[in-house]
Amino acid sequence: MPAVFLPFIAIFLVLFGVFPTAAQQSAATQVQVKLGYLRAYEPQLTLSVLDVAPRDEGVAGADVAIADNNTTGKFLGQTYTLDVTEVKLDADVKAATEELISKGVNYLLADLSAEQLLSITNLARDRDVLIFNVGATDDRLREEACHLNVFHTAPTRSMLADGLAQYLVWKQWRRWVLIHGSHERDKLFADALRRAAERFGGEILLEKEFMDTGTARRTDSGVVQIQRQMPVFTQDFPEHDVVLVADESEVFGTYVPYRTWTPRPVAGTAGLIPSAWHPASEQWGGTQIQNRFAKANGRRMLWKDMAAWTAVRVVGEAVTRTNSAEAAKTADYLRSPDFSIAAFKGQKLTFRTWNGQLRQPIFLGDGRSVVSTSPQEGFLHQVSELDTLGVDQPETTCVLD
């Protein structure tokens, strides 16, 4: 923390009469917790301008949680700081990681690609740094490429697909057709949807790939062509209940709803979208975090903001309960049965001890409101119903050393 802030904080503490309290509570122990935030960012085009990610997506959530932790911290003699570093989308992140660690960061939030994340896990481990993955949904980071020092507050593609599939099956909409994009991440989400169909009794009757031919995302008269092209593209579908869309790359997904040959609901990356949060969720005390977030940032809270908020709160909870800022103690605590975190999702959230994934409900939203939240009623599990979402312990390929 820059030294210039210290007098300010001292004044703040005096103003609020906190010193005697802190003294009583924790014998004036001062715990400083330094978090880092490393993100790969470049402006991205989207099919709809409404879907362009805010400049501070994710970071804004972490900032709110830092403020929350500091409010709690003033009663316990704890202070939390966040150091944010941005790199280009496919940049080498090792130097940036080294720099954050050299500043004393021992908790690192990462909004990076899977490759970037994997390039720093050993580096972080050797310097006793815990990584919180707040952005990557790749299942392999929790499976064959899992690491003991990485916790994931972002959900996996399989959790998202399972959350969606449970709802469609609950609705008795079991006959699906699948349109997926031609990029790797689109295919990975398509894989997750196929797996979900098999697990929950959906049937994918036909699949089609929508090739990215490199067209401009938006043109003044593009809408006219799309209105003509999409019906033709979907004309040969067999009788089905739902059109599934896997287009993380923003090539065509937004154009599917209302333009199909037969009138059918659309779900996946367009239409009914599974997510770790919804900007309109007000259930389970959600209004409180939404208000707090909107007041601080002047915009609605998105899923990556929630993943980052949760990661920072997880650190705050561990530091408070273990009375220590040591990453090793935090890691042990997060895997212990004593740990749980409240994150406005109606139940306590815990980590899967076998791969460090945060168990969490999945919101299903249509862009305006929350339609439902999975797990759905009736999908039972012997340990936690949240483990009906994503890869479960008996199936995991993760080996933590």
Partner 1 sequence: MLGRLSCLSGALVFAVGLATPASAYMVYVSNEKDNTVTVVDSTTMEVVHTIDVGQRPRGITISHDGKFIYLCASDDDTIEIIDTATNQIVGSLPSGPDPELFVLSPDGKTLYVANEDDNLVTVIDLDSKSVVAEIPVGVEPEGMGISPDGKTMVNTSETTNMAHFIDTATNEITHNVLVDSRPRFAEFKPDNTEVWVSAEIGGTVSVIDNESREITQKISFEIPGLRSEAIQPVGVRITADGTKAYVALGPANRVAVVNTETYEVEKYVLVGQRVWQLAFTPDQKTIISTNGVSNDITFIDVATDEPVQSVTVGALPWGVVVSPQ
Please tell me whether residue 182 binds partner 1 under the rule CB under 8 A.
Answer: no
Could you tell me if 371 and 271 are in contact, meaning their C-beta atoms sit under 8 angstroms apart?
A: no
Could you tell me if 381 and 350 are in contact, meaning their C-beta atoms sit under 8 angstroms apart?
A: no
Please tell me whether residue 72 binds partner 1 under the rule CB under 8 A.
Answer: yes
Q: Which candidate, 236, 215, 237, places its Cα nearest to that of 226? A: 215
Other C-beta atoms closer than 10 Å to the C-beta of 36 total 24
Give the position of tokens 């896990």. Answer: 121
Please tell me whether residue 333 binds partner 1 under the rule CB under 8 A.
Answer: no
Strand 78-87 vs strand 31-40: parallel, antiparallel, or unpaired? Answer: parallel
Shortest distance, position 356 Cβ to partner 1, whole Å = 20
Other C-beta atoms closer than 10 Å to the C-beta of 194 total 19
The Cα–Cα gap between 246 and 222 comes to 21
Please tell me whether residue 321 binds partner 1 under the rule CB under 8 A.
Answer: yes
Span from 94-102, 202-210, 224-232, 316-324 in contact with partner 1 (CB under 8 A) = 316-324
**Residue among 219 and 283 whose Cβ is closer to partner 1:** 283
Q: Which candidate, 376, 370, 371, 375, places its Cα nearest to that of 360? A: 375
Please tell me whether residue 24 binds partner 1 under the rule CB under 8 A.
Answer: yes
Span from 41-49, 86-94, 299-307, 314-322 in contact with partner 1 (CB under 8 A) = 314-322
Shortest distance, position 193 Cβ to partner 1, whole Å = 27
Please tell me whether residue 76 binds partner 1 under the rule CB under 8 A.
Answer: yes
Could you tell me if 281 and 370 are in contact, meaning their C-beta atoms sit under 8 angstroms apart?
A: yes
**Residue among 119 and 322 whose Cβ is closer to partner 1:** 322
Please tell me whether residue 25 binds partner 1 under the rule CB under 8 A.
Answer: yes
Near partner 1 by CB under 8 A: residue from 81, 158, 385, 398? 385
Buried b (16+ CB within 10 A) or exposed e, 110-124: bbbbbebbbebbeeb
**Residue among 9 and 95 whose Cβ is closer to partner 1:** 9
Per the DSSP assignment, residues forming a β-bridge with 131 are: 108, 150
Please tell me whether residue 291 binds partner 1 under the rule CB under 8 A.
Answer: yes
**Residue among 32 and 291 whose Cβ is closer to partner 1:** 291
Q: Which candidate, 124, 69, 81, places its Cα nearest to that of 318? A: 69
The Cα–Cα gap between 310 and 307 comes to 5
Task: Give Cα 131 distance to the centre of its chain.
Answer: 14
Please tell me whether residue 387 binds partner 1 under the rule CB under 8 A.
Answer: no
Span from 71-79, 138-146, 225-233, 245-253 in contact with partner 1 (CB under 8 A) = 71-79
Span from 78-86, 185-193, 207-215, 291-299 in contact with partner 1 (CB under 8 A) = 291-299
Strand 31-40 vs strand 107-111: parallel, antiparallel, or unpaired? Answer: parallel
Near partner 1 by CB under 8 A: residue from 46, 182, 324, 347? 347
First-to-last alpha carbon distance for the chain, in angstroms, is 34
Please tell me whether residue 75 binds partner 1 under the rule CB under 8 A.
Answer: yes
Span from 20-28, 245-253, 261-269, 271-279 in contact with partner 1 (CB under 8 A) = 20-28
Q: Which two tokens stand for residue 167?
A: 């709802």
Span from 64-72, 101-109, 172-180, 210-218 in contact with partner 1 (CB under 8 A) = 64-72
List contacts with partner 1 (CB under 8 A).
16-17, 21, 24-25, 68, 71-72, 75-76, 285, 288, 291-292, 295, 313, 317, 320-321, 340-342, 347-348, 384-386
